[in-house]
């Protein structure tokens, strides 16, 4: 608590409005993360699409999230460019939420989710970068808080949607659509097989949509609307636009800004020969292994949130649609609570300890889920514990990697892009395996990815030890953390005053 009082509270007060703004935009990000899972049945009925077609909506969001993460690096050069990008992206999210109920065909829904994914990617890169830029050595706690707001938004989204979701089937009874109980009592093998298909995918095959999920999307659009207002307010109060400026703006007043002010603007400039010349091999391995770890862990998080519903309604569990829909909310609630807890743990324990605890805990709980794969109760318990364990992987890994590399800025773009890539590709890979081999492979895929991530992390620790040893003779922050951190903080405070 002494560290909190002496360092973190004064820093937070100094950058309070800017920090709260970045936290709020990640709330918008969280709203978009989790609403597709519980609403997929109603969106399937609204668009009249097949199961295979509706899965491409997930892919479109994740693919353009990756594109947005790369493009977001282009807006990092100045605070004005960053805040304008955040303003337009968060405003776009509200508009797209309001537009989803009018997407009565799969193509408009695909385009809408693609634009949403691009906005999410820009938010992901900019908010992480700017927060690391503000707090640098003390960024771990604030990054945990930042990602807490993703979990908060992802928790609220299913809760808002739940009252408007259809119970079991969003189609009207027709002569061509057999009743669930009638099929159970009938001897028709063809209709029984069709029922198995409905249960396996959690969506009906045909019929007229009667759902009222549109209201959920409009409510989420209204909930998100204060976020672009907060970003615009920050732009106005910092006098960043020429029409608002009556004196020196924020950027002009920072003559002694942090080392990140001159950092490369995008992932492409990070890879320029001038920035890579003379770097030791450990420098490249740290980027590669850090990206691989987040590729796997964010992929697990996205895949679990996306497919736990399908796994729950499939044999052998065959849970009801409402009960299975609660799993997604429980998962994001546990992630939210976990990130809240890791805010306090991050200034008591080192990042390697937190990351080791998270990965080992995730592996153990997934092994237990495979052992008790027929238990509804343990699926709920395991989902909760898994969310708690995996919740801090991204912020802890980002803060740890940037600390090793002395906050040059490129690691943020590389790690965010890798995480977005993993969330996109692993959902596609896991989905194809589940469809081909069966629902039980869902847990096997997640466990395999977790074990691989732990192996990559152990190798990462070895490489970072070599990297620090190779620079042991240089007076850097890696070798003189206490002395240089104090000098850097004093210089930064003097420049801001």
Q: Provide the pLDDT confidence category of residue 263 given band limits of 50, 70 and 90.
A: very low
State the total domains in the chain. Answer: 2
Q: Do 376 and 435 share a domain, yes or no? A: yes
C-beta separation of 297 from 390 below 8 A: yes
Q: Do 19 and 107 share a domain, yes or no? A: yes
| Pick from 364, 402, 399: nearest CA to 385 | 364
Indicate whether 302 belongs to any domain: yes
Indicate whether 230 belongs to any domain: yes
Indicate whether 192 belongs to any domain: no
Q: What is the pLDDT of residues 30-74, one digit of tens each?
A: 888 777 767 777 888 888 877 667 777 877 888 888 888 888 878
| Pick from 170, 175, 180: nearest CA to 49 | 170
Q: Do 361 and 233 share a domain, yes or no? A: no
Mean pLDDT along residues 88-109: 91
pLDDT of residue 253: 38
Q: Do 236 and 349 share a domain, yes or no? A: no
CATH no. for residue 38? Answer: 1.20.1250.20
User: For residue 134, what are the domain limits?
Assistant: 1-167+213-241
Indicate whether 467 belongs to any domain: yes
Q: Do 235 and 308 share a domain, yes or no? A: no
| Pick from 428, 431, 425, 426: nearest CA to 449 | 426
Half-sphere exposure of 186 (CA within 13 A, CB side): 14
Indicate whether 492 belongs to any domain: no
Q: Do 105 and 30 share a domain, yes or no? A: yes
Q: What is the pLDDT of residues 315-350, one digit of tens each?
A: 888 888 778 878 877 888 888 888 888 888 877 888
Q: Do 153 and 22 share a domain, yes or no? A: yes
Indicate whether 237 belongs to any domain: yes
Q: Do 368 and 463 share a domain, yes or no? A: yes
- Residue 205, phi then psi, degrees to nearest 5: -95, -40
Task: Please give the residue that has the higher pLDDT: either 282 or 11.
Answer: 282
Q: What is the pLDDT of residues 414-467, one digit of tens each?
A: 888 888 888 888 888 888 888 788 877 889 999 999 999 999 999 999 999 888
State both tokens at 203. 């969506």
Indicate whether 193 belongs to any domain: no
């Amino acid at each position: 608590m002494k560290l909190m009082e002496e360092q973190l509270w004064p820093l937070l007060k100094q950058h309070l409005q800017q920090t709260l703004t970045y936290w709020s935009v990640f709330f918008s990000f969280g709203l978009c993360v989790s609403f597709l899972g519980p609403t997929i049945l109603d969106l399937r009925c609204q668009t009249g699409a097949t199961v295979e077609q509706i899965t491409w909506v997930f892919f479109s969001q994740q693919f353009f999230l990756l594109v947005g993460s790369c493009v977001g690096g282009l807006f990092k050069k100045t605070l004005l460019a960053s805040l304008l990008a955040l303003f337009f992206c968060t405003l776009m999210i509200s508009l797209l939420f309001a537009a989803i109920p009018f997407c009565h065909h799969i193509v408009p829904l695909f385009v809408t989710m693609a634009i949403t994914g691009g906005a999410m990617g820009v938010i992901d890169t900019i908010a992480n970068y700017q927060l690391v830029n503000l707090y640098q050595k003390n960024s771990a706690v604030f990054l945990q808080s930042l990602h807490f707001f993703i979990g908060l938004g992802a928790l609220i989204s299913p809760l808002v949607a739940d009252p408007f979701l259809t119970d079991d089937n969003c189609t009207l009874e027709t002569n061509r659509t057999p009743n669930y109980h009638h099929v159970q009592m009938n001897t028709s093998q063809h209709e029984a097989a069709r029922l198995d298909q409905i249960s396996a995918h959690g969506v009906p095959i045909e019929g007229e949509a009667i759902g009222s999920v549109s209201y959920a999307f409009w409510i989420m659009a209204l909930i998100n609307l204060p976020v672009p207002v907060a970003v615009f307010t920050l732009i106005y109060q910092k006098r960043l636009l020429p029409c608002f400026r009556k004196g020196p703006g924020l950027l002009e007043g920072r003559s002694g800004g942090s080392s990140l002010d001159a950092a490369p603007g995008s992932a492409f400039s990070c890879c320029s020969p001038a920035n890579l010349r003379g770097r030791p091999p450990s420098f490249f391995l740290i980027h590669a292994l850090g990206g691989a770890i987040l590729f796997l862990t964010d992929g697990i998080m996205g895949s679990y949130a996306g497919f736990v519903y399908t796994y729950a309604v499939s044999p052998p569990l065959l849970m009801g649609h409402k009960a299975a829909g609660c799993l997604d909310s429980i998962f994001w609630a546990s992630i939210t609570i976990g990130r809240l807890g890791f805010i306090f743990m991050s200034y008591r324990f080192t990042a390697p300890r937190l990351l080791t605890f998270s990965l080992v805990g995730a592996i153990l709980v997934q092994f237990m889920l495979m052992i008790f794969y027929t238990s509804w109760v343990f699926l709920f318990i395991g989902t909760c514990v898994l969310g708690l364990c995996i919740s801090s992987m991204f912020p802890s890994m980002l803060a740890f990697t940037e600390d090793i590399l002395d906050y040059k800025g490129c690691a943020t773009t590389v790690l965010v892009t890798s995480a977005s890539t993993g969330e996109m590709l692993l959902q596609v890979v896991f989905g194809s395996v589940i469809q081909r081999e069966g629902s039980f492979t869902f847990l096997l895929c997640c466990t395999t990815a977790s074990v691989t991530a732990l192996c990559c992390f152990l190798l990462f620790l070895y490489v970072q030890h070599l990297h620090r040893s190779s620079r042991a003779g240089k007076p850097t922050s890696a070798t003189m953390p206490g002395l240089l951190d104090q000098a850097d903080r004093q210089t930064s405070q003097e420049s801001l005053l």
